[in-house]
Structure 1
Amino acid sequence: MVIDKILRDKNIRFKEKAEKIKVILTDVDGVLTDTGIYYGPQGEALKRYSVRDGMGIERLRRYTGIETIIITGENSAAVKSRAEKLKMAEYYLGVKDKTEVLEIIKKKNGFVKEEIAYIGDDSNDYDVIQKCGFTASPADGMSFIKEIVDYVCETKAGYGAFREFAELIMAFKNVT
């Protein structure tokens, strides 16, 4: 069948891309969170994170050596706290131009485009997505982002989309 061939060809492309990945870069709002912001009694921003996404970050590190790096325009204590809890060696908060930070990460770590995965959902991710080797969007990402990424998750942001992308990469690297 034509559909089987298309799916098989797509899986071959995914496998070729996933095998090269050494780092995953991620946005926060709209990927690791459900895009909602809650405010505490003192006006502090609170965010809801999926424990499954956190486990995906830990599994990537433990079983493949792949680190996750946050790049977000958000500059909040909640994001910093989450990055530290997940023992992220690098995270970038308050970013205005994600492509500039991508270049810093590449230079600092010696990565090339094909070794970098990125998951994002909105206009501030558009340019950086086009400069990474394997890309994804949560199921509820903006349509113009879903049109340009390699993989659209079945899962929504903040409910395990990052974990789904992480598991996909691990599966293509033969890690379960």
Structure 2
Amino acid sequence: MSAARLPPDFVQRARHLKLVLTDCDGVLTDGGVYYSDQGEAYKRFNIRDGMGVERLRDLAGIRTGIVTGEHSRSVVKRAEKLGILECHLGCKDKARTVLAILERLKLSSAEAAYLGDDVNDLPAFGVVGLTACPSDALEQVRAAADVVLVRAGGQGAFREFAELVLSARCGAE
């Protein structure tokens, strides 16, 4: 497996992080959704990404959050299970949502990272200090991201980013 594309100042930027926000569909999931005649029935999450959330919190004191354009009870349940307190659904203006979170938590842009995979995530990229995307993100998102991960969305991309941050911050294994 090849290595993620990292900016030269990744270690310095990762050491300042206090918050990692992520889109859901296409990052925490593979973007697929199962529908029944009653609407959305299931989303598939990678359990290793959940461990990434826990490791960021427990080893480095980094908060995590989900910012998604969708309204999904599955996302809420996953966030609750992982102890993610920042779970924002139906966000059509993700930059505005991210800025509101930063203001409420009294964090600077440099203290936040955002993972996204599609064009609706690009505005949020502009308001944080570090950005990342899965390997299967849209081409323009890969071009805009500071970090292009090796793993695809729903295949451990969030965990990969978490481990890169932990390695930069505290040499966690």
Aligned pairs (5 A) from 1:132-171: 132-171=128-167
**CA distance, structure 1, for counterparts of residue 44 and residue 110 of structure 2:** 31
Q: Aligned-pair distance for 1:44?
A: 3.3
1:117 pairs with one of 110, 113, 128: 113
Gapped regions of structure 2 (runs ≥ 5): none
Gapped regions of structure 1 (runs ≥ 5): 1-6
4+ runs of 1 displaced by more than 3 Å?
40-44
Deviations 1:70-92 (A, max 9, x none): 00001111111111111111210
Q: Aligned-pair distance for 1:12?
A: 4.3
Structure 2 residue 59 is matched with structure 1 residue 60: no
- Show the counterpart of 1:3: none
| AA aligned opposite 2:133 | S
Deviations 1:60-115 (A, max 9, x none): 11100101110000111111111111111121011110111111111110110110
SS of 2:31 mapped into structure 1: coil
- Show the counterpart of 1:69: 65
- Show the counterpart of 1:172: 168
Give the total of aligned pairs. Answer: 168
- The two structures have a TM-score, normalised by structure 1, of 0.91
- The two structures have a TM-score, normalised by structure 2, of 0.93
Q: Aligned-pair distance for 1:118?
A: 0.6
- Tell which structure's C-alpha radius of gyration is larger: 1
- Show the counterpart of 1:4: none
| AA aligned opposite 2:135 | A
- Show the counterpart of 2:85: 89
Gap change, CA 1:104 and 1:52, over 3 Å in 2: same
Preserved CA contact (<8 Å) 1:45 1:76: no
